[in-house]
Chain A
Amino acid sequence: DAGVTQSPTHLIKTRGQQVTLRCSPKSGHDTVSWYQQALGQGPQFIFQYYEEEERQRGNFPDRFSGHQFPNYSSELNVNALLLGDSALYLCASSPGSDTQYFGPGTRLTVL
């Protein structure tokens, strides 16, 4: 059983560009959450998707948007990139509110 997978592993963009990150949850997990982790800090909650709807959202601007597909996979989109968006982006999946399983993350660098 494959765990949570994320793509790409690394990404370099310039300010103002747009980026799409992808996540495939563990088999049977219907809830996908996205987190942003800046260097030396704990992950910060961006949003959570359940049944293709955004169920909860953290304190992030509208430049951050997402989508969940019928197979429960998910995308995170960030528009008009800023230098401060450079971080490790983590995807987590779970069968509801039970143990969260994280993917390896996508390292985004904005120049």
Chain B
Amino acid sequence: KQEVTQIPAALSVPEGENLVLNCSFTDSAIYNLQWFRQDPGKGLTSLLLIQSSQREQTSGRLNASLDKSSGRSTLYIAASQPGDSATYLCAQTDSWGKLQFGAGTQVVVTP
């Protein structure tokens, strides 16, 4: 059974500190990996998509890496801000776009 795991389940950091969020997946034939942000009770906002042929993607303060051989992806958020407080979800994608999600990491950035 293919699974996606996110550790830790929750994380609290002071403002300005860098955030490191981990995602593990079991499907070595992963097509894409996508990171999302979800605010409480809201829909998902796409942050970064890494294609299986890529090693990383960057957008502003966000950087995501992908290591297919170890089945891991890491999301780095530099210089965290209180507005970064949210739940972050990773999902592996098949060739038709079906997403398989982890349970998410709940992040709190304290001022």
CB distance from A22 to the nearest CB of B (A): 15
Are B96 and A45 in contact (CB-based, < 8 A)?
no
Given A56-B96, A88-B41, CB of A100 within 8 Å of CB of B46 = yes
Q: Do B31 and A97 touch across chains, with their CB atoms under 8 A apart? A: yes
Select which of A40, A97, A103, A107 is within 8 A of B93 by beta carbon: A97
**Are B97 and A43 neighbours in the complex by a CB distance under 8 Å?**
no
Check if B101 sits within 8 Å of A48, measured CB to CB: no
B residues whose Cβ falls under 8 Å from a Cβ of A: 4, 31-32, 34, 36, 41-46, 49, 89, 91, 93-104
Sample (23) of A-B pairs whose CB atoms are under 8 Å apart: A4-B43, A31-B96, A33-B99, A42-B4, A42-B103, A43-B44, A45-B99, A56-B96, A58-B98, A90-B44, A97-B32, A97-B95, A98-B49, A99-B34, A99-B49, A100-B97, A101-B46, A102-B45, A102-B46, A104-B42, A104-B43, A105-B41, A107-B41
Return the contact of A33 from the options B36, B46, B49, B97 (Cβ within 8 A): B97
Number of A-B contacts (CB under 8 A): 70
* Other-chain contact of B103, A41, A55, A105 (Cβ < 8 Å): A41
Residues of A within 8 A of B46 (CB): 99-102
Cross-chain contact A45 with B100 (CB below 8 angstroms):
yes
Q: Complex Cα distance A48/B28, Å?
A: 23
Q: How many residues of A contact B (CB 8 A)?
A: 30
A69-111 CB contacts (< 8 Å) to partner B:
88, 90, 92, 94, 96-105, 107
What residues of A have a CB within 8 angstroms of the CB of B34 in the complex? 99-100
Extra inter-chain contacts (7) besides given A88-B41, A102-B45, CB under 8 Å: A33-B98, A42-B102, A90-B44, A97-B31, A97-B95, A98-B97, A100-B34
A37 nearest CB across to chain B (Å):
9
B90 CB to nearest A CB, Å: 9
